[in-house]
């Protein structure tokens, strides 16, 4: 069992929740700042150090691709080093986020992703970018095809499984919760294949929270998640318990998107009424809060996160 971390000292000030997508990756933060100033050489060095650690590579390229000026600097890098697979992957990532924002055509972004994939056939990251794009602009078949390509290169790809869970959740609209919805089957299958020690063991919990989001957005459930019967169902309790058991059994080896899993788990524990476990999770999260799932249903993520954290830790119920 992983020993508990030391007590976290909350500042409880206006800057205590940053929602930085870098998720505590200091090297990524430095490279992102350098890229914003046109110094893509530091990104090149970072990606060279990352190598074929596919989860870390995907996380870093996604965060770098989200930058406002990333597409321009990636293109400069690509022109300077046309054979660079890293430059091609960064250009693809940046194009995807521009396409999602309506600043570039999805077809152009798709072509950059396919070019990056041809240049580095073993790299799942261009296909991850295609999955991000397909979730927003593509068909069901395009989503499945991109996911299968990622999984064929890295079976336990964390981000890709989260994205596919979101894609499945958003497909089928119902008037209420469907216990046989395909997302539950997918999550349980993926978790079972990955094993108890894999971060994907928490995927049924992710599916539970994402399904709540879809149902609430469709008006089938209230937009305020507190004290809903949804969270007391056997599926909810089993999914949250399994996710918490995974965390207790976790071997302590870090992975880049750990804070995302911990935030989902804290959300689940809080809404199923287990504030003691939620307090332990908030303590472990520290400053690494994530917008999702606290922002769902257009809630203010900082106020929602702080209110849940403060209540669980005994600071009161306000969003101070």
The 10s digit of each residue's pLDDT in 195-215 is: 888 999 999 999 999 999 998
The reported pLDDT for the residue numbered 17 is 87
pLDDT of residue 238: 93
Q: What is the CATH number of the domain that holds 47?
A: 1.25.40.10
Cβ atoms of residues 211 and 267 within 8 Å: no
205 in Cβ contact with 183 (< 8 Å): no
**Per-residue model confidence (pLDDT) at position 319:** 41
Rg of the chain over all Cα atoms, to the nearest angstrom: 20
Alpha carbon 295 to its chain centroid, in Å, reads 13
Is residue 40 one of the residues assigned to a domain?
yes
Residues of the chain below pLDDT 50 = 1-8, 318-320
Look at residue 227 in the predicted model and tell me its pLDDT.
Answer: 78
Q: Check if the beta carbon of residue 94 is closer than 8 Å to that of residue 71.
A: yes
pTM: 0.93
In a domain, 175, yes or no: no
In a domain, 89, yes or no: yes
Instruction: Could you list the beta-strand ranges (E) of 157-290.
Output: none
In a domain, residue 258? The reply is no
Q: What's the CA gap between 150 and 126, in Å, rounded?
A: 9
Which range of residues forms the domain containing residue 91?
19-154
Tens-place pLDDT, residues 2-23: 444 444 455 555 667 889 999 9
> Based on the structure, what is the number of domains in the chain?
1
Q: If we measure between CA atoms, which residue out of 105, 86, 95 comes closest to residue 43? A: 86
Residue 285 lies in a domain: no
Residue 82 lies in a domain: yes
Distance separating alpha carbons of residues 263 and 12, to the nearest angstrom: 18
pLDDT at position 277, please?
A: 96
What is the structure's pLDDT at 12? Answer: 53
């Amino acid at each position: 069992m992983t020993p508990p971390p030391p007590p976290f000292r909350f500042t409880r000030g206006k800057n205590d929740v940053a929602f930085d997508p870098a998720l505590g990756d200091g090297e990524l933060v430095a490279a992102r700042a350098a890229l914003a100033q046109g110094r893509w050489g530091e990104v090149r060095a970072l990606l060279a150090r990352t190598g074929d650690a596919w989860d870390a590579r995907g996380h870093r390229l996604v965060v770098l691709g989200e930058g406002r000026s990333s597409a321009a600097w990636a293109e400069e890098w690509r022109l300077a080093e046309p054979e660079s697979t890293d430059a091609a992957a960064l250009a693809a990532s940046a194009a995807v986020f521009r396409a999602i924002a309506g600043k570039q055509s999805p077809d152009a972004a798709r072509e950059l992703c396919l070019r990056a994939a041809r240049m580095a056939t073993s790299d799942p990251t261009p296909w991850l970018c295609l999955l991000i794009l397909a979730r927003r602009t593509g068909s069901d078949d395009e989503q499945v095809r991109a996911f299968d390509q990622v999984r064929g290169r890295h079976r336990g790809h964390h981000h890709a499984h989260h994205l596919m869970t979101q894609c499945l959740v958003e497909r089928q609209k119902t008037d209420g919760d469907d216990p046989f919805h395909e997302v539950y089957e997918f999550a349980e299958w993926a978790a079972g294949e990955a094993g108890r020690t894999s971060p994907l063991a928490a995927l049924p919990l992710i599916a539970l929270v994402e399904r709540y989001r879809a149902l609430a957005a469709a008006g089938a459930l209230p937009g305020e998640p507190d004290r809903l019967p949804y969270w007391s169902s056997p599926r909810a309790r089993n999914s949250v318990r399994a996710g918490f058991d995974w965390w207790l059994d976790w071997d302590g080896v870090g992975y880049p998107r750990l804070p995302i899993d911990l935030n989902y788990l804290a959300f689940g524990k809080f809404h199923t009424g287990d504030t003691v476990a939620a307090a332990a999770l908030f303590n472990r999260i520290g400053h690494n809060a994530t917008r999702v799932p606290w922002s769902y249903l257009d809630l203010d993520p900082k106020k929602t996160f702080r209110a849940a954290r403060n209540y669980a830790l005994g600071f009161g119920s306000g969003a101070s």
